């Protein structure tokens, strides 16, 4: 049934009257509550409930009639059509703007009793803007346009602008062209500004919070009315030339003050509620409980020990699968797309883990929570900017928020918990409070970290990987090939949240200077009641680690200036340590120069050209976002401008192939094992037993790297 009769402008034809009567018969058989149904006229828009006589009058009123887009009577008991013809018609003729508007404003079909004649259903009492969007959706783009309404066309066009980065001016110019191309009676907006005003009502907003330029406080909560920072006495506002000179006082008072620093906060609660406004998304939020494959393999965070321990400790939270588990990712970036400007703006992104892995890792599920302004990163003061987010997480854990589930057609109390953070190694220090540089840089080993200061290299090296070997392994007593000592220690004990809090308290009691102890602060996340009991609190982004490892390997193998770890300082440190005498610098007959014995990992010019030629001639698929050949310069024996994903592809696929025949087998085999480790941990499916074997193997690989490469 095409239901074209619903578009009859007169509302008086026999076909239209017959269609209205058929609709009323169908609706009162399938969706009536206390003798009333929701009225689908253009004024009521399925939000008011009336008797049969009243609905008939509304639908036959020439100034009302049916909602033009309401072709499927889903609010009156009709099931959505799933046939191919219905799907094709839905794509060609409808864009489900009516459903989109209902989802955005939380208006859904309900069977709750209606309190009185014409009374609105409970879900829509505060949605005053809803009617404006219904009106926009009912307005044709131009006369007799059946494919697009004004709203649907603007949403599609605005979506293309966001996807492809069109400038505001180019968007306005496109509107000018479209207005000329379409019939004169078209209702296209005049500019991007007007389009934004129309579409902005469908978006979730954000709040601006003033911050101290020295990252001391947020002018929020108890400091909301302060004009000067109570800690550093810096003004909240930018200082102009007139303010400095003391001239034009009255003008300065009348002029709007400009805040020195602004944090942009995107509240989490409405964004979590929106996940449940769409029935399809709401259904996917139950995937981790109802649809996952439970065979002991690791495919999703729900398969991890951290998730299972959290469920066991908080059974009331895990009882409702709709409660949201969140991961927090944070890092700095340069918003100006140029490396000539030093600027670091930090974002904090939340990822809900309830959906399947092929959904939760897609961009629509990445929720921006905080945008911390530059030009410098917040460093350890990032906790100041995390206060609004942590307060929301606390409220979502304690009380939750009332949310309508469009899939179950019911209201429930939505709660949320933060499982862990994801970041690179420097950001790990900012979020956890443990310093990731210096003597105790390893957050897992803690104060038992094995480190050594290199006098010539002016840096600290971290070895001691033999601690993780089996107690009777022969390498433990091999001092000649390693750092000159025997290793009899056992692996460091893993610390839980309670141990960490005790360490922080002890550091405060001893009053150690900042430089003398690795704990720089107590992380703000410990204010969450469940945080100290989480098995896994912080994760490292493997792509950042891969890039650092790949850059060091490539730079050393090709002996690139400034990137190689094998230089005079490294050889001099070998002399100080008294190890690998075959690599010690040797004086040449010419007193002014020093000869460096060739190491096993150094390539000849011919080997470099062979290695680089393989990478230069690699053919990548169209789907690949990596382009390795553009980074290779064969004649100069260099690789440059490698991005994180380039290094990921190199370590995962290309390096093991390209190295064959260019280095001795003992070096190649170790590097291939290292590449295989990164490849395996990046697999989509992981076996727990295989991970245990991989953990044992990477210890062997790291020990072998100690014996081959300089510290």
CA distance 76 to 205: 33
**pLDDT given at position 277:** 85
What's the pLDDT score for residue 246?
54
The pTM assigned to this predicted structure is 0.77
Helix (H), strand (E), coil (C) string for 506-532: HHHHHCCCHHHCCECCCCHHHHCCCHH
pLDDT value at 500 more than 90: yes
Report the pLDDT averaged over residues 425-441.
Answer: 93
What mean pLDDT comes out for the span 617-629? Answer: 77
pLDDT per position as a tens digit, 10-34: 888 888 898 899 999 998 888 888 8
Query: Poorest-confidence range of 189-203, 374-388, 646-660?
Result: 189-203
- The confidence score (pLDDT) of residue 96 equals 59
| Mean pLDDT value of segment 446-473 | 92
Mean pLDDT, residues 624-649 taken together = 88
Between residues 406 and 139, which one has the greater pLDDT?
406
Q: Which two tokens stand for residue 117?
A: 């004649």
Closest CA to 537 of 569, 571, 496, 567: 496
Q: Supply the DSSP symbol for 653.
A: I
Q: Token pair of 705, please?
A: 């790297």
High-pLDDT (> 90) share of the chain, %: 55
What DSSP character marks residue 625?
Answer: -
The pLDDT of residue 152: 82
Q: Which residue has the higher pLDDT, 11 or 246?
A: 11
Distance CA 74, CA 242 (A): 64
Whether the CB-CB separation of 629 and 618 falls below 8 Å is answered with: yes
Cα–Cα distance measured from residue 267 to residue 275, given in angstroms and rounded to the nearest whole number = 14
Measured distance CA(604)–CA(583) in Å, rounded: 17
pLDDT in tens, 325-365: 999 999 998 887 666 678 899 999 999 999 999 999 988 89
Would you give the end-to-end CA distance of the chain in angstroms? Answer: 76
Q: How far apart are CA 407 and CA 279, in angstroms?
A: 4
pLDDT of 176 higher than 90: yes
Separation between Cα atoms, residue 413 and residue 261, nearest integer Å: 36
Whole-angstrom Cα distance, residue 566 to residue 601? Answer: 10
* 452 within 8 A of 483, measured Cβ to Cβ: yes
Q: What is the mean pLDDT of the chain?
A: 86
What is the DSSP-derived secondary structure letter of residue 412? E
Which pLDDT belongs to residue 2?
67
Torsion angles phi and psi, residue 328, rounded to 5: -120, 125
- Which of 32, 31, 55 is CA-nearest to residue 42? 55
Q: Report the C-alpha gap between 668 and 689 in whole angstroms.
A: 26
Q: Is the pLDDT of residue 82 over 90?
A: no
Q: Are 549 and 670 in contact, with CB atoms under 8 Å apart?
A: no
Residue 261 has pLDDT above 70, yes or no: yes
**Does the pLDDT of residue 141 top 80, yes or no?**
yes
Asked if the model's pLDDT at residue 148 lies above 80, the reply is yes
Region 171-182 average pLDDT: 92
* Band of pLDDT at residue 425, cut at 50, 70 and 90: very high
Residue 122 CB contacts under 8 Å (≥ 6 apart), including other chains:
110, 112
Residue with tokens 């009106």: 135
Mean pLDDT of 464-480: 93
Instruction: Report residue 430's pLDDT band, with 50, 70 and 90 as the boundaries.
Output: very high
Q: Where are the domains of the chain?
A: 1-127, 266-429, 542-708
- Residues paired with 367 in a beta bridge: 350
Contacts for 354 with CB less than 8 Å, ≥ 6 apart: 284, 285, 286, 287, 288, 321, 322, 324, 325, 360
> Is the torsion defined by CA of 97, 101, 104, 108 positive or negative?
negative
Between CA 133 and CA 112 the distance in angstroms is 25
Which pLDDT does position 94 carry in this prediction? 47
* Nearest CA among 136, 148, 58, 64 for reference residue 104: 136
Q: What is the pLDDT of residue 126?
A: 40
Of the pLDDT bands very low, low, confident and very high (cuts 50, 70, 90), residue 214 is very high
Confidence of residue 605 (pLDDT cuts 50, 70, 90): very high
Q: Range with the lowest mean pLDDT among 9-13, 442-446, 567-571, 701-705?
A: 9-13
CA-to-CA dists, residue 258 to 211, 235, 385, 693, angstroms: 12, 11, 19, 59
């Amino acid at each position: 049934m095409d239901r074209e009769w619903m578009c009859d402008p007169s509302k008086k034809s026999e076909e239209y009257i017959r269609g209205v009567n058929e609709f009323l018969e169908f609706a009162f058989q399938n969706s009536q509550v206390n003798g009333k149904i929701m009225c689908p006229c253009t004024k009521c828009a399925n939000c008011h409930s009336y008797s049969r006589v009243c609905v008939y009058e509304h639908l036959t009123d020439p100034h009302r009639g049916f909602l033009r887009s309401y072709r499927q009577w889903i609010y009156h008991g009709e099931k959505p059509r799933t046939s191919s013809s219905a799907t094709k018609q839905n794509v060609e003729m409808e864009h489900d703007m009516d459903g989109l508007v209902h989802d955005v404003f939380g208006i859904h079909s309900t069977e709750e009793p209606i309190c009185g004649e014409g009374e609105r259903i409970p879900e829509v009492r505060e949605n005053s803007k809803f009617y404006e969007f219904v009106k926009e959706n009912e307005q044709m783009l131009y006369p007799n346009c059946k494919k697009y309404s004004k709203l649907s066309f603007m949403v599609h066009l605005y979506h293309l602008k966001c996807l492809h980065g069109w400038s505001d001016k180019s968007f306005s110019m496109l509107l000018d062209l479209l207005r000329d191309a379409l019939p004169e009676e078209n209702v296209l907006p005049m500019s991007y500004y007007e389009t934004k005003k129309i579409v902005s009502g469908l978006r979730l907003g954000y709040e601006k919070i003033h911050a101290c330029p020295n990252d001391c406080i947020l002018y929020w909560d108890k400091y909301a009315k302060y004009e000067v920072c109570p800690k550093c006495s810096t003004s909240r506002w930018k200082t102009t030339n007139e303010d400095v000179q003391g001239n034009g006082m009255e003008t300065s008072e009348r002029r709007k003050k400009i805040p020195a620093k602004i944090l942009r906060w995107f509240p989490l609660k409405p964004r979590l509620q929106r996940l449940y406004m769409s029935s399809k998304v709401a259904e996917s939020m139950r995937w981790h409980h109802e649809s996952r494959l439970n065979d002991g393999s690791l495919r999703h965070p729900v398969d991890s020990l951290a998730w299972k321990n959290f469920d066991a400790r908080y059974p009331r939270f895990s009882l409702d699968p709709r409660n949201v588990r969140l991961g927090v990712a944070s890092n700095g970036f340069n918003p100006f797309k140029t490396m000539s400007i030093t600027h670091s703006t930090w974002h904090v992104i939340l990822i809900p883990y309830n959906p399947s892995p092929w959904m939760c890792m897609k961009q629509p599920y990445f929720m921006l929570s905080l945008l911390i302004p530059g030009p410098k990163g917040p460093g350890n003061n990032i906790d100041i900017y995390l206060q609004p987010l942590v307060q929301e997480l606390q409220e979502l854990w304690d009380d939750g928020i009332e949310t309508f589930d469009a899939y179950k057609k019911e209201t429930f109390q939505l709660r949320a918990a933060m499982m862990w953070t994801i970041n690179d190694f420097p950001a790990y220090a900012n979020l956890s409070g443990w310093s990731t540089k210096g003597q105790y840089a390893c957050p897992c080993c803690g104060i038992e970290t094995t480190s050594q200061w290199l006098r010539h290299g002016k840096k600290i090296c971290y070895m001691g990987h033999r601690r993780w070997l089996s107690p009777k392994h022969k390498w433990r007593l091999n001092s000649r090939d390693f750092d000159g000592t025997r290793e009899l220690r056992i692996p460091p004990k893993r610390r839980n949240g309670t141990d960490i809090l005790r360490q922080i308290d002890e550091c405060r009691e001893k009053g150690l200077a900042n430089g003398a102890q690795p704990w720089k602060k107590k992380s703000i996340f410990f204010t969450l009641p469940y945080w100290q009991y989480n098995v896994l609190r912080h994760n490292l982004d493997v792509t950042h680690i891969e890039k650092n490892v790949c850059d060091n390997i490539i730079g050393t193998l090709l002996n690139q200036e400034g990137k190689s770890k094998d230089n005079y300082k490294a050889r001099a440190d070998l002399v100080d340590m008294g190890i690998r005498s075959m690599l010690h610098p040797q004086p040449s007959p010419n007193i002014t120069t020093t000869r460096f014995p060739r190491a096993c990992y150094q390539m000849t010019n011919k080997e470099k050209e062979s290695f680089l030629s393989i990478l230069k001639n690699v053919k990548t698929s169209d789907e690949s976002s990596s382009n390795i050949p553009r980074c290779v310069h064969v004649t100069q024996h260099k690789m440059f401008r490698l991005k994180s994903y380039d290094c990921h592809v190199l370590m995962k696929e290309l390096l093991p192939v390209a190295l064959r025949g260019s280095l001795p087998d003992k070096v190649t085999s170790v590097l291939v094992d290292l590449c295989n480790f990164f490849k395996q941990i990046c697999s989509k499916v992981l076996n727990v037993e295989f991970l245990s074997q991989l953990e044992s193997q990477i210890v062997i690989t790291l020990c072998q790297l100690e014996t081959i490469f300089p510290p």
